[in-house]
Structure 1
Amino acid sequence: MPSIHSGSGSSAWTGPAWEPSLGLAHSLADVVEFLRRAGLEVSEYEAARSPLIQWRGGGPYVWVDPPP
């Protein structure tokens, strides 16, 4: 199950240990873009509430570091 780590200074989208990192997300929109690149078309609303995404830290609407 993919995990989103947020609220700890940086936010990383991670999958199982054998898969490479998909990148750093700075917002929920970034997460939706990663999903789109993986072939999944979901809205921000769907991504924030999906039981398939495990949010750690602040959750889908809390991002500590603003984008550069």
Structure 2
Amino acid sequence: MLNVLLALILPFFMMLFFTRVSYSKFGALLVTLMIVIFAFDGLKQTIPVIIAGTVSIAAGYWMSLRIQKKNRGV
């Protein structure tokens, strides 16, 4: 249960953080995927954890698009 909760929270915030640091949504997506797959051993997790992580990354990507669109004039 804790793994699913962490899979819902961590990739979302990592995506937002790396988007703000790198100013690139694709770079942030790549870095987040690499961290989830290699550092958190994402490919050997259970199916609910993988699905929760995928949903979290997709939500983080969507939110990073909104943040970049909002801050485009800055």
Normalised to the residue count of structure 1, the TM-score between the two structures is 0.32
Richer in strand (by share): 1
Richer in helix (by share): 2
Larger Rg: 2
